[in-house]
Amino acid sequence: MTINLNNILYTAVVTPMLDGGKIDFVSFERLLRQQEDADCGVLILGSTGEALALTFTEQCQVVEFTCALNLNVPLLVGVGGYQLPQQVQWLDFCNQQKIDGYLIVTPIYAKPGTQGQIAWFNTLLDRSQKPCMLYNVPSRTGVNLCFQAFDALKEHPNLWALKEASGDIERFKRYVEIASSVAVYSGEDAMMPELAQVGAKGLVSVVSNLWPIETKCYVTAALAGKITNEEQSLWQTAAKACFSVANPIPAKVWLAHTNKIASNTLRAPLVASELTGLAQLSEADEILKAYYTAVV
């Protein structure tokens, strides 16, 4: 089976955990199958999947388990951290698995400049044996992907796409201008309609953990330029609910509340009790379900 990487929607899937902290693979399969049923591509071990809170052994287990499911949607695996040799080791493992591509984030914490970013990404792109989506998320890494670095990397044969999550529409437009051959995806759920107008090819989403079918409808309408004011407003409500405290706390709390996963357990320093109520999520769920009843 040939997998088309250019799916318009990828879900950055949470990693469910049992009350004691071990990975809950039963719930994990349920989530992955739900995404498959909605024809959403899946990204495992991103920041939403709490990748950096897992051990290397656990990360390997998550990849092996997911690959064994033989999903009929594209599968991306997150690559990100601080120590380059560890990321090379991770790629060497993942290259041997039945995955379709990587999401490679800008180096965290160190805030490298142009030359440091070029060296980092070139090393990982060279090591990869799969297509790669770079990831710009300055709110987590502390630095933007430099325009000059992106320009220097744009012709790399393993560079397929970019996930842009700075929240800056002008920056998004600049990435699109720099590399017309690179598919630029929105990493901002609420901004998908605006970003579709300036060249976004799709969305890498958190909210689709909760509402995969509805989110697919939203992205399809955004790319077609057919988003109504009402629809845009309700997705802003949904995104606000999912990011009211640190991601993926709200997503995990709601998935546990609706019995999609067995527990809302997170790895330290994240804790479910940061979310003090379900009102925002309940409101978002109610209005989304009402709006999309005919579709779902």
Q: Name the residues annotated as catalytic.
A: 135, 163
The amino acid that residue 186 corresponds to is S
Peptide bond into 269 cis (omega under 30): yes
Rounded Cα–Cα distance for residues 120 and 235 (Å): 35
DSSP the chain: ----S--SEEEE----B-TTSSB-HHHHHHHHHHHHHTT-EEEESSTTTTGGGS-HHHHHHHHHHHHHT--SS-EEEEE--S-HHHHHHHHHHHTTSS--EEEEEPPSSS---HHHHHHHHHHHHHH-SS-EEEEE-HHHHSSPPPHHHHHHHTT-TTEEEEEE-SS-HHHHHHHHHH-TTSEEEE--GGGHHHHHTTT---EEESGGGT-HHHHHHHHHHHHTT---HHHHHHHHHHHHHHTSSSTTHHHHHHHHHTTSSS-----TT--GGG---SHHHHHHHHHHHHHTTTT-
Rounded Cα–Cα distance for residues 197 and 208 (Å): 21
Question: 24-59 burial, b if ≥16 CB within 10 A, otherwise e?
Answer: beebbebbbebbbebebbbbbbbbbbbbbbbeeebb
